[in-house]
Amino acid sequence: MSTSLRARLVRSLLVVLLPVWVAMAAWTYWSVVEEVDEIYDQQLMEVALPLLPQSVAALHESLDAMPIDQPDGEGVDLAVLAWSPQGALLYRSPMAPPLLFAERPRDPAGLRMANTVVLNGHGWRVWWFEQPQMGRWLAVLKPMTERNELARALALGLGLPTLATVLLLTPVVRWVVRRGLRPLHQLGQQIARRRAADLASVSEAGQPSETVPLVQEINALMTRLARTFATERRFTADASHELRTPLAACRAQIEVARGAEEAAVREAALANAMLALDRATRLTDELLALARLDHDTEAPLSATPGWRDELDLAALVQDRMGAVAVAALARGLELSLEAAAGVPRVAGHPEWIAMAVDNLLSNALKYTPSGGAVRVAVEPTEAGVAVVVHDTGPGVRPEDLPKLGDRFDRLGARGEGAGLGLSIVRQVAARHGGRLLFALDDGLRATLILPQRAPAVTRP
């Protein structure tokens, strides 16, 4: 199930912002409470300092006259307890909590420092004073009621704005994210409104910098699709034209055979029909071979059925030459092979490479006149291993060399064939990451170069 990018961005922003808001609120609350405690302690100290020099009788007179409420009431201000150094209780102000002498700080550094205690379920802030000159310990206490109420008020005052900010900021974040993603939405609508055959580039004008790479990749894909579709249309048109010729010839010869009264004429017409069918069959096989080579060019070569990482190219070429040796001798052609010592093995598809070698040999034998020679060499090069097929035929015009290997282009040559043989060789070279080169040298020299290690994926 797909997830909205907008929802993911909103959730991500809130997940990041909420902890930040909570942490800021907690830190602010802690800082304010610390300040309140300091003020609270300062007030307690200011109240306690006048009582320190007073005797027990004076404490009785000063504190007993003060109006004292219950500890949980709002009127409680102060409580004082005095002990002898031995722990005997000397004085306890009205409504003072049951603070024990044993709870006094044992560390001298803890004297004249406030700490918080809980007595009878109520919190008290306590200051301890050791008065050796007066022979007593004095504890001055103040209830935490006011401080706790102030802390709660602060927490509520900080929490409610934070909660309101979260509630108000959520739709704001959604609106900002929606507005930020609007160019992407508009880009999607622009592509969605296109017709299936419209492969024009998408305009980069007005696009934010973040979506420009996406637009560029879409345009690159459109260019590849346009080129592929153009190639396929031309391929289909040329293939239908090339297939129509042998099929029409076959039909014409069959009609001649059906109307022939003489057996010799009928047999000749049927023989010509078989030749036309053979040509259509060869053309179909070549078209299927090109289709296989064009298919799934994004898949790893190592996953192609039949692929081999170690292939003896010299042995493969020798085997393919053996298949055409009889036909070459019958035409009076000299066929030779020269394989250099130590030719490295290559990675490749034996069936594809054999098909490429067959087409190079077939092309050389077809255009070499009787008494000529076809010389084949397998030799290492800086780019890998080269298979060189050199014939002593008429060659081609120099300006036609770049056109060799174009599909259905026979450069005006007559005879059998549809101009697909060298196209297959070029496609095999491209699928292996290699090259197909041509040169004029007392005939035509075709060089198929294959790397020792083909790339993982090739895009002919």
pLDDT at position 70, please? 45
Give the pLDDT band (50/70/90) at residue 309: confident
* 271, pLDDT greater than 80: yes
Domains and CATH numbers, the chain: 6-65+76-152 (3.30.450), 212-294 (1.10.287), 301-450 (3.30.565.10)
Q: Average pLDDT over the chain, rounded to whole? A: 78
- Do 325 and 374 meet the contact criterion of CB atoms below 8 Å apart? no
Q: Please name the residues in contact with 330: beta carbons below 8 A apart, sequence gap of 6 or more.
A: none
pLDDT at position 77, please? 67
Q: Which residue has the higher pLDDT, 132 or 189?
A: 132
* 187, pLDDT greater than 90: no
388-427 burial by CB neighbour count: b if 16+ within 10 A, else e? bbbbbbebbeeeebeebbebbbeeeeeeebbbbbbbbbbb
* 298, pLDDT greater than 60: no
Instruction: Map tokens 């070549």 to a residue.
Output: 286
Could you tell me the two tokens for 114?
């406030």
Top-ranked range on mean pLDDT: pick from 239-243, 262-266, 411-415: 262-266
pLDDT at position 387, please? 92
Task: Work out the angle at residue 127's Cα, subtended by the Cα atoms of residues 122 and 133, and round it to the nearest 5 degrees.
Answer: 140
Which range is least confidently modeled, 13-17, 329-333, 338-342? Answer: 13-17
Question: Strand (E) positions, 220-354?
Answer: 308-311, 334-339, 346-348
What string of DSSP letters covers 108-153? GGGTT-EEEEEETTEEEEEEEEEEGGGTEEEEEEEESHHHHHHHHH
Closest CA to 405 of 378, 423, 380: 423
Give the pLDDT band (50/70/90) at residue 1: very low
State the average pLDDT over residues 371-376. 92
State the average pLDDT over residues 257-267. 82
Which range is least confidently modeled, 108-112, 372-376, 385-389? Answer: 108-112
State the average pLDDT over residues 150-163. 74
Give the pLDDT band (50/70/90) at residue 447: very high
* 234, pLDDT greater than 70: no
Instruction: Map tokens 């019958």 to a residue.
Output: 330
SS3 of residue 455 by DSSP:
coil
State the average pLDDT over residues 335-340. 88
* 348 beta partners: 308
Is the Cα torsion angle 401, 403, 409, 412 positive or negative in sign?
negative
* 457, pLDDT greater than 70: no
pLDDT digits (tens, 9 = 90+) for 56-104: 888 887 777 665 444 444 444 688 989 998 889 999 888 788 888 888 8
* 288, pLDDT greater than 80: no
